[in-house]
Amino acid sequence: MIYTLYDIILHISVIVLLPYFVVKMLSEGKYRTGTPERFAIYKEEKLRALEGGDVVWFHAVSVGETKAVLPLLKLFKERHPEKRVVFSTVTPTANRVAKNEEPLLIDALIYFPLDLSWVVKRAVERLKPSLFIVVEKEVWPNVIHTLHQRGVPIVVVNGTVSERSFGRYKKLGFFFSDIFSSITRFCARTEEDRERAISLGVPPERAIVTGNLKFDIEEVKLKDTDAKTIREELGIGEEDPVIVAGSTHAGEEEILLDVFKRLKERFPDLKLILAPRHPERFDEVEALLRASGVSFKRRTDSERLGEKADVVLLDTIGELTLLYSLSTVAFVGGSLVEDVGGHNLLEPAVFSKPVIYGAHLKSYLYMAELLEKEGGGMRVEDKEALFSALCSLLADRDQCHSMGIAARRVVDKNRGATKKTLDIIEELLQTHSPQRNT
């Protein structure tokens, strides 16, 4: 009865919001992307790619979750090449990241279906998963309910329950307790996440602390020749100090540009690589750069390869992680503005780079605390604190180097979640019969 009520409310919400989304679809391409798949309408070649083996369904909402689960997916495929992997995302950017970074590991890349009962049933019938793996904190009632009814094991990996989500779920405990009790395994980041999951309805024996998958980030080293080529393309000299500001959001670029112009007065050779989090903001950030008066170029401007500019606007998908390796100091965005919560602080840390970030952290607060305790990260409250931190590090390369080494030490000390998580998944593969064979 409760699922019927949820479904009715969801359908009413879709109908009410339909005019809004129609306007968005007409004006913004990202809202049109993947529309058929969101209604579980898949191209036949994708379905054919899933034939001949048991299907394991991985789901990650956005870029952060996608990058976090890719090492697990890679290890899974190495051990089980006979399995077929369908990988779903919600955002177009995450879809592109999955397609660019691990195309050979994914048999069918799709957009996640809307959580409407009839859409979910169609998706499950067409994909026929034998196991469903969801990253971090996604709770889709109809998806979980439908899979549970069909005997498909549901595994939450890198599981986390924020304080805000915990309070919301608790208020609707009569509904969410049934959903959480349907989870076969909850692989929690921390003991606190495990305790919250149990409080919400996951049986204690099904909740296990496995650690944070994001600490198992892969270090993809650039060869000296490749690094030289990229530097030449970007117009950055071997000795030029470089700030890489990654995953920035609206309101942060203005702060960074103001700080950068002030730093240029002290460090004339300083360069800035600016990487907005969302591709649809590339043109908006270009307008900010143009108005700021700094010399800049876009990464994709082939006519300006090799040309020197103070700022490079990184308007590509999938390059940011590698470019962190060229940085002198890294700033991770989504942290100087509210209501974002930060992004993965380990992406520059794995390259032994000092990590700077703002004070508005949610999911990444624990990560920041570990970096600060080890001496590898620095939290700044505002623009002046950001200027002071960057100025100090750029002026003292020994401090910069030691801080980077400390940041890498945090990564190394906390590795291991991928293997622990995979062991749990493999146990379920052995104890549950694949749906395709039933």
- CATH code, 287: 3.40.50.2000
| Lowest mean pLDDT, pick from 178-192, 211-225, 413-427 | 211-225
Tell me: do 277 and 248 sit in the same domain: yes
Is the model's pLDDT at 340 over the cut of 50? yes
| Mean of pLDDT values over 140-151 | 95
- Same structural domain, 311 and 356: yes
Residue at 381 is within a domain: yes
Q: What number is the average pLDDT over the span 13-17?
A: 83
| Residue 183 and residue 41 share a domain | yes
Nearest in space to 142 (alpha carbons), one of 160, 157, 158, 154? 154
Give yes or no for residue 308 having a pLDDT over 80: yes
pLDDT tens string 268-292: 999 999 999 999 999 999 999 999 9
C-alpha triplet 263, 269, 270: angle, nearest 5°: 45
What CATH number is given to the structural domain containing 59? 3.40.50.11720
Q: Is the pLDDT of residue 239 over 60?
A: yes
What is the pLDDT at residue 29?
A: 59
Model confidence at 18: pLDDT above 80: no
Q: Is the predicted pLDDT of residue 437 greater than 50, yes or no? A: no
Mark whether 356 and 345 lie in a shared domain.
yes
CA separation for the pair 356, 349 (Å, rounded) = 10
Report the catalytic residues: 65
Residue 334 predicted with pLDDT over 80? yes
Does residue 216 lie in a domain region?
no
Q: Is residue 217 part of a domain?
A: no
**Parallel, antiparallel or unpaired: strands 329-332 and 377-380:** unpaired
Instruction: Give the percent of the chain with pLDDT over 90.
Output: 75
What is the average pLDDT score of the chain? 92
% of the chain exceeding 70 in pLDDT: 95
How would you classify residue 139: left for phi > 0, otherwise alpha for psi between -120 and 50, otherwise beta? beta
pLDDT of residue 333: 97
- CB neighbour list of residue 371: distance below 8 Å, 6 or more residues apart: 345, 349, 355, 377, 406, 407, 410
Q: Is the same domain home to 323 and 422?
A: no
- Residue 173, pLDDT above cutoff 70: yes
Considering the domain architecture, whether residues 19 and 94 belong to the same structural domain is answered as no
User: Would you say residue 193 lies in a domain?
Assistant: yes
**For position 282, what pLDDT does the model report?**
96
* Segments forming the whole domain that contains residue 301: 224-413
φ, ψ for residue 186, nearest 5 deg: -115, 105
Residues 200, 244 within the same domain: no
pLDDT score at 112? 96
How confident is the model at residue 26, as a pLDDT?
61
φ, ψ for residue 375 (rounded to 5)? 95, 20
Q: What was the pLDDT predicted at 13? A: 87
**Same domain, residue pair 322 and 197:** no
Higher-pLDDT residue of 320 and 437 is 320
Rounded Cα distance between 276 and 58, Å, is 26
Q: Residue 219 falls within a domain, yes or no?
A: no
Confidence class for position 438, pLDDT limits 50, 70, 90: very low
Answer with the residue of higher pLDDT: 99 or 26: 99
Q: Quick one: which H or E segment has residue 56?
A: strand 55-59
CB atoms within 10 A of CB 160: 19
Domains of the chain: total: 3
| pTM as predicted | 0.86
User: Would residue 401 count as lying in a domain?
Assistant: yes
The model's confidence at residue 435, banded by pLDDT at 50, 70 and 90, is: very low
Instruction: Identify whether residues 122 and 162 lie together within a single domain.
Output: yes
Cβ atoms of 137 and 165 closer than 8 Å = yes
Same domain? For 50 and 22 the reply is no
Same domain, 300 and 381: yes
Tokens of 129: 């998963």
As a whole number, mean pLDDT of residues 142-170 equals 94
Beta-sheet pairing, 329-332 with 242-248:
parallel
Residue 55: alpha-carbon gap to chain centroid: 23
Tell me, yes or no, whether 422 lies in a domain: yes
Q: Is the model's pLDDT at 27 over the cut of 70?
A: no
Alpha-carbon Rg for the chain in angstroms: 23
Mean pLDDT, residues 232-250: 95
Q: pLDDT grade, residue 28 (50/70/90)?
A: low
**Taking the mean position of all CA atoms in its chain, how far away is CA 52?**
30
Which pLDDT score, from 0 to 100, does residue 132 have?
98
pLDDT of residue 64: 87
